[in-house]
């Protein structure tokens, strides 16, 4: 590691579910100049109760030194319960349009081989196929186009969106006006 590179840091994104899968994605983030996100571990489980998720999140936090969990903001009580267990959990922003743009930019950077990319490990067997199924609706000339994906096969993508948005706010330098 050269003098100006920093060590990887680990972050997680969570999308709650019961009938739909609960998804927990863990990413290794390499700070600039690399600025790379590598999704390295997943939990993708239907009918998973919060009390069953909590020990898994705690174990992964200890094992990987997860700095922060960026959580689906629709369940603030779950976030509070994670904090009571000494997990650094925060509600992620709900700006999903921005998340799609940031994700698209990272995918483009990866394809071009420039810093700021994203990769997904083969150790995430449910996230990768879901990513390939993610679709925007077909354009209908009788209705205005909606910039919203089809609401199916998007649970892991939701966790990824929360992770991307949380990381964008976490690692973006803050400007201090004098």
- CB 30 within 8 Å of CB 106: no
Q: In whole angstroms, what is the distance from residue 102 CA to residue 16 CA?
A: 22
pLDDT at 150: 47
pLDDT tens sequence across 158-176: 899 999 999 988 765 544 4
Query: Which residues pair with residue 45 across a beta bridge?
Result: 22
pTM value? 0.82
- CB 88 within 8 Å of CB 67: yes
């Amino acid at each position: 590691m050269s003098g100006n590179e920093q060590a990887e840091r680990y972050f997680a994104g969570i999308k709650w579910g019961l009938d739909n899968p609960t998804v927990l994605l863990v990413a290794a983030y390499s700070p600039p100049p690399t600025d790379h996100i590598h999704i390295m571990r997943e939990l993708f489980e239907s009918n998973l109760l919060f009390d069953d998720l909590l020990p898994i999140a705690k174990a992964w936090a200890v094992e990987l030194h997860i700095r922060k969990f960026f959580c689906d903001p629709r369940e603030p009580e779950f976030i509070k319960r994670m904090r009571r267990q000494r997990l650094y959990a925060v509600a992620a922003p709900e700006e999903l349009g921005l998340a799609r743009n940031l994700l698209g930019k990272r995918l483009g950077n990866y394809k071009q081989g420039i810093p700021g990319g994203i990769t997904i490990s083969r150790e995430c067997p449910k996230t990768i196929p879901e990513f390939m199924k993610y679709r925007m609706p077909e354009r209908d000339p009788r209705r205005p186009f909606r910039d919203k994906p089809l609401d199916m096969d998007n649970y892991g993508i939701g966790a990824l969106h929360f992770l991307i948005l949380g990381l964008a706010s976490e690692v973006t330098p803050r400007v201090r006006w004098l």
